[in-house]
Structure 1
Amino acid sequence: MSKRDRAAQTPHTDAFRAWLGVAIKETGSAPATVARAIGASVNSVGAFLNDPNRDITLSRAANLERHLRASAQTQGKTLPAIREMMSAAGARHA
């Protein structure tokens, strides 16, 4: 896969922010709890969710996704694909 193909599959920050909000709600987690679970600052996830100008690193986003999907699975839940949030975020910024 080329760099261009990978870039096309990387979700926009707003799409990931929307997915993260849904995932936290679906799993009944708190942003600070999720942040601690991945070894991040307790305020980092909440700050990302609440500040549309704040970015997130790809590695932190991947860690959050892995943790939340595992948490959902232990609860017998399935989280939506981030791709589903991409079209909604794109529509807001078009």
Structure 2
Amino acid sequence: MSFFTTVALLVILAIPEGTSQGGQGVPLRCQCLNKERKPIGRLLERVEVIPASSHCTKIEIIATLKKDGGEICLDPEAPWVQRVLRRLDQRTP
């Protein structure tokens, strides 16, 4: 093999190794780029709070919708979202 072929092969083999950081299912960046501020409380099936981490310095709140199971990001600063979170906190033993 030539030198350039060997280098190209090593580069190709190194690419998957560099992209697999963080383990399976762990996002390497913030998931919420746009956040919903309008009240949609009756449409919510489930709410997941993702705490700040080294990958995203902001708290993210991802809600699953009842109708189609779609996911939407909620603005943690919106008053109605804070009320939903307080209710969820009260229900958690």
Which category describes the TM-score, using the shorter chain as reference length? under 0.3
- TM-score, with length taken from structure 1: 0.23
- TM-score, with length taken from structure 2: 0.23
Larger RCO, structures 1/2 (Cα 8 Å, 6+ apart): 1
Q: Which has the higher helix share?
A: 1
Q: Which has the larger radius of gyration?
A: 2
